[in-house]
């Protein structure tokens, strides 16, 4: 199915923020319902949640957006870091008149969400860290995976993106049984974003976020909101051992391990399971089958 058919019924628009320019959002659901803000990974864009928004909008007001410097949002020449993106998240919430919301972030999105939840705890109801970055890596495999991603990013930023390089990056995100999801449309969408001159201009700074990973680690013990770590056995960065160690430092947190085949994009690879877990957690604060810290 086309991404645009998946998202049929969402409203795509731009929201003006105070200090970060125009931010592209996809929105669906009753605005009087509780809000979930979905946040993509590094070099990503809101279509990472194309398969989730309409289904979840039946029970929540849902918003996915492009971070500043990403997707089709504005790309000012800033020193991009996770703390800076957390400030942009707050400004977007202000622009949407949201005093508080649920947060669900994948990879960089989880990293930013957690930093925001620590700095602005009154603005976060519940927090889902979906294969999140920014966690202290505790295993040899996890450290090797992180170094591999740094090398991959360096190769990408030093070369003009091509159909082949974008396909390889997308396949890296997916479980080997889900490579069919890396279709021509998804490749063309991402390549089109990457080749925009404004994207190319900020790409080196965006990619340095990974190189500076340990400068901005999440002090997870400071998380005070109900927190779910949603992980996969085959996540290609920040392995399960890292997630389990981080969850153990967050009192009352839970760790849910996806049952379906998924790697770094569980929301896209196994949307039905992801949506069910999302509904259960943001409605009740608990997930059946999750490990408790």
Question: What pLDDT does 114 receive?
Answer: 98
Q: What is the pLDDT of residue 95?
A: 98
Domain 3-292 fold:
Rossmann fold (3.40.50)
| Burial label, 105 (beta-carbon count in 10 A; 0-12, 13-18, 19+) | buried
pLDDT above 90 (res 84): yes
Return the DSSP state at 136: P
Structure tokens at 256: 């849910």
Min mean pLDDT across 56-60, 173-177, 205-209, 251-255 is at 205-209
User: Order of strands, edge to edge, in the sheet holding 124-130?
Assistant: 11-17, 21-28, 61-65, 35-39, 101-106, 124-130, 227-231, 254-257, 291-292
- List pLDDT tens digits, range 249-287: 999 999 999 999 999 999 999 999 999 999 999 999 999
Q: Which residues contact 240 (CB under 8 A, 6 or more apart)?
A: 231, 232, 233, 257
- How far does CA 239 lie from the centroid of its chain? 16
Residue 65 pairs in a beta bridge with 25, 39
Give yes or no for residue 154 having a pLDDT over 90: no
Tens of pLDDT, residue by residue over 96-153, are: 999 999 999 999 999 999 999 999 999 999 999 999 999 998 888 878 888 877 777 7
pLDDT at 139: 82
Residue 216, classed as helix, strand or coil, is helix
- Token duo for residue 274: 């992801």
User: Which CA distances in Å does 131 have to 77, 106, 145?
Assistant: 28, 6, 13
State CA 99 to chain mean position distance.
21
DSSP 8-class letter at 32: T
Can you give the residue ranges of every domain in the chain? 3-292
Instruction: Output the pLDDT for position 156.
Output: 65
Q: What is the mean pLDDT of the chain?
A: 95
Predicted confidence at residue 255, as pLDDT, reads: 98
H/E element, 144: helix 140-157
């Amino acid at each position: 199915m086309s991404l645009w058919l998946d998202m049929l019924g969402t409203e795509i628009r731009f929201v003006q923020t105070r200090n970060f320019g125009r931010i592209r959002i996809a929105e669906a659901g009753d605005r009087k319902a509780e809000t979930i803000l979905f946040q993509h990974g590094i070099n990503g864009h809101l279509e990472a949640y194309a398969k989730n928004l309409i289904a979840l909008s039946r029970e929540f007001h849902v918003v996915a957006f492009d971070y500043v410097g990403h997707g089709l949002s504005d790309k000012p020449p800033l020193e991009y870091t996770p703390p800076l993106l957390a400030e942009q998240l707050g400004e977007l919430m202000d622009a949407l008149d949201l005093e508080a919301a649920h947060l669900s972030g994948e990879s960089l999105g989880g990293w930013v969400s957690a930093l925001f939840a620590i700095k602005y705890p009154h603005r976060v109801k519940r927090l889902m860290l979906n294969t999140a970055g920014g966690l202290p890596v505790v295993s040899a495999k996890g450290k090797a995976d992180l170094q591999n991603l740094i090398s991959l990013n360096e190769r990408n930023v030093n070369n003009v993106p091509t159909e082949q390089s974008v396909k390889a990056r997308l396949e890296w995100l997916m479980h080997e049984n889900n490579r069919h999801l890396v279709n021509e449309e998804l490749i063309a969408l991402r390549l089109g974003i990457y080749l925009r001159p404004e994207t190319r201009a900020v790409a080196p700074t965006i990619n340095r976020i990974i190189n500076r990973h340990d400068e901005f680690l999440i002090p997870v013990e400071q998380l005070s909101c109900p927190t779910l770590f949603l992980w996969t056995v085959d996540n290609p960065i920040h392995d399960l051992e890292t997630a389990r160690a981080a969850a153990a430092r967050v009192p009352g947190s839970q760790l849910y391990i996806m049952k379906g085949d998924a790697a770094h994009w569980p929301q896209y690879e196994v949307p039905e399971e992801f949506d069910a877990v999302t509904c259960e957690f943001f409605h009740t604060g608990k997930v059946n089958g999750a490990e408790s810290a």
